[in-house]
Amino acid sequence: MEEKKYLKWYNKIGYGSGDIAGNVVYAFLTSFMMVYLTDSVGLAAGVVGTLIAVSKLFDGFTDIFFGSMIDKTHSKMGKAKPWMLYGYIGCAITLVCCFAVPVSFGTTAKYAWFFISYTLLNGVFYTANNIAYSALTSLITKNSKERVQMGSYRFIFAFSTSLLIQAITVGFVDKCGGDAAAWRTVAIIYAIIGLVINTISALSVKELPEEELNEGEVKDDNEKYGMVQAFKLLVKNKYYMMICGTYILQQLYGAMIGAGIYYMTWVLKNKNLFGQFAWAVNIPLIIALIFTPTLVGKWKGMYKLNLRGYVLAVIGRALVVIAGYMGSVPLMMAFTALAALGQGPWQGDMNAVIASCSEYTYLTQGKRIDGTMYSCTSLGVKIGGGIGTAVVGWMLEFSGYIGANATQPQSALDMMQFMYLWLPLIFDVLIMFVLSRMNVEDANKKLKAEKEIATDEVTDASDIN
């Protein structure tokens, strides 16, 4: 029996465009914040890294909090849309603040300004916006194919935006003057663009009524749960823990690729190569995303596609290491593209995997926690990206890197090579291992068979009890 369709083509594109806004923040922050702080503001990479790590202690709490708040929200716009819409206003303001550290301040005041701005951006506003945006996958359609399509549209926009940000920002900043004030100007422009597009995206889709999401089931008081119980429900779901782990590893990977700005500048002696490598990363990802929905259908699920994709990614990154030691930039780009092609399917369908993960909790625990379940997206992005950026700072500091110097010691150059060549390979191997264990689709089918629920039905509590 064919699943009911809920979305028009413009709903899917409208939803997907929301990741333009998300990556105006995320790609800009992860790729350029550290180099702005070390080379334009004059802060120490190790101290910045430590402040980022301390900030991450706050993030785990806010992810579960906002996920739980979304589940409890009842408004005319729905559960998630208000948080997505209004959360981005704070994102835009605090993004500008992160790149507007007053140069007239003393050193301690500069660190404090950055820490407060960064913590508010990541721990509060980006969290609220990103969890809500991700949760819409479960709230605007119950069709599994549409959820995969939404993920593909979303990440086509995400990687296109990443590509653009990484490719043009260095030149854009130089044209604006190349100093700290230029970074602030660019940040303001990016924030305005993100605010406009996020608003359009939020208004382009409509959440389904709760009665339809729950198949007409009326919720009673004993189904309500607090943040502590929500946390317990998440921890009981092994697939949620796997997805969180994968997300964190992905963001660690991305942080090391973002550190390529140092590798290109000091090892390859051409900072403009950073933009060219961005093409090698993002174009294959976009191509893979276009074909992901078709491949999911052909291979009858997401598990095989995701695992085989990361086998290809590991091979690609291993070849990048070899090409790097050979000193061949063209080969490095070619193998970077091969690795990105393998990473694409998981990027495209992971929102649908999370929806299946949420269904697993519903089948095993009898509670629907879609908003809280999607906390893994924000949690993984912030913890992984934040710790990854912190690790970059610590490694640079340990290696003797000083941004103001005209030359860098060999120890710093060796560290840049390790960060850009070896660590991405290690993270891809770990992701491949986790994905080999993440067959949540099969687990759901078995649970439905045990409970005599048709596999094409959207479950409700009456099926579980």
pLDDT at 458: 42
Distance CA 315, CA 338 (A): 8
Listed in order, strand segments (DSSP E) in 374-447 are none
Question: Does residue 3 register a pLDDT over 80?
Answer: no
- On whether the pTM is more than 0.75, the answer is no
- Residue 91's alpha-carbon distances to 68, 120, 451, in angstroms, are 20, 8, 44
pLDDT at 224: 56
- What CATH number belongs to 10-209+224-464? 1.20.1250.20
Q: What is the pLDDT of residues 63-82, one digit of tens each?
A: 778 888 888 888 888 899 99
For 73-143, where are the alpha helices, taking DSSP H only? 81-98, 107-120, 126-139
Q: Residue 423 — pLDDT band, cuts 50, 70, 90? A: very high
**Mean pLDDT, the chain, whole residue set:** 87
- Scanning the structure block, which residue is given the tokens 């009456």? 462
Q: What is the pLDDT of residues 281-313, one digit of tens each?
A: 989 988 998 888 888 888 878 999 999 999 999
Distance CA 79, CA 374 (A): 13
Residue 41: both structure tokens together? 């503001």
CA 440 to chain centre: 21
Q: Give the number of other Cβ atoms within 10 Å of residue 426's Cβ.
A: 15
Q: Give the number of other Cβ atoms within 10 Å of residue 269's Cβ.
A: 8
Distance CA 410, CA 400 (A): 9
Say which DSSP state 222 is in.
G
DSSP output for 352-384:
HHHHHHHHHHHHHHS---HHHHTHHHHHHHHHH
Residue 184: both structure tokens together? 């602030």
- Residue 406's alpha-carbon distances to 402, 409, 416, 454, in angstroms, are 9, 10, 16, 67
Q: Give the number of other Cβ atoms within 10 Å of residue 404's Cβ.
A: 7
